[in-house]
């Protein structure tokens, strides 16, 4: 191994060590469990090792790693033969995350901020197409964190009506946003 190759591998190893934690946090924000995130991270690092000779610039490697990670997450969801659903992603206590928690920017990287902004814009656009009553219930429950009981007290609508409106809103949003992970 030449001195230049050793230097390149040393720089690459330092880059991986620096990016690994941020990558794991980014992936963890997109999949339901830490184990799944770790598996995807290992696959990303394997792809980096397999592509080491094709990398032209170490300056662009971090962006490449995040792009590969995003693609691996998309592939992971595809392999499960269903699209990601809000109720599938749960916190450690088993409670579903609120929408704002799913969109939380955990790494602060430029790519993560970009992805969050793109997701937010797509969700806002999809929400604007819903009937007002469905949009209200969805926003109150998912974004503001109100319980259905609180919403029923606020609106005077029966609980079953609210549940039905939320179900229709989620169904419509899933249909509109099903390709979001593929586009990002």
Q: Which domains does the chain have, with CATH numbers?
A: 1-81 (1.10.1740.10), 94-184 (1.10.10.10)
Per-residue model confidence as pLDDT tens for the chain (184 residues) = 788 778 777 777 777 788 888 888 888 888 888 888 888 888 888 887 777 666 666 667 778 888 888 888 888 877 764 433 443 343 444 444 445 455 555 556 676 677 777 777 888 888 889 999 999 998 888 877 888 889 999 999 998 899 999 999 988 888 887 766 544 4
- Apex 159 CA angle, 157 and 164, nearest 5: 95
Residue 96 backbone phi and psi in degrees, to 5:
-65, 145
- Nearest alpha carbon to residue 67 among 100, 126, 114: 114
């Amino acid at each position: 191994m030449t001195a230049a190759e050793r230097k390149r591998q040393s720089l690459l190893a330092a880059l991986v060590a620096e990016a690994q934690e941020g990558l794991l946090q980014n992936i963890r924000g997109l999949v339901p469990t830490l184990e799944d995130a770790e598996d995807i991270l290992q696959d990303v690092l394997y792809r980096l090792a397999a592509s080491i000779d094709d990398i032209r610039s170490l300056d662009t490697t971090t962006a490449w790693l995040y792009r590969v990670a995003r693609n691996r997450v998309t592939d992971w969801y595809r392999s499960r033969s269903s699209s990601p659903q809000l109720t599938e992603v749960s916190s450690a206590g088993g409670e579903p995350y609120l929408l704002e928690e799913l969109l939380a920017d955990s790494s602060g990287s430029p790519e993560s901020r970009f992805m969050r902004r793109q997701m937010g814009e797509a969700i806002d656009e999809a929400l604007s197409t819903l009937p007002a009553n469905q949009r209200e219930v969805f926003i109150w429950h998912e974004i503001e964190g109100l319980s259905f009981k609180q919403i029923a007290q606020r609106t005077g609508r029966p609980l079953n009506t609210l549940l039905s409106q939320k179900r229709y809103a989620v169904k419509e949003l899933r249909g509109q946003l099903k390709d979001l992970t593929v586009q990002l």
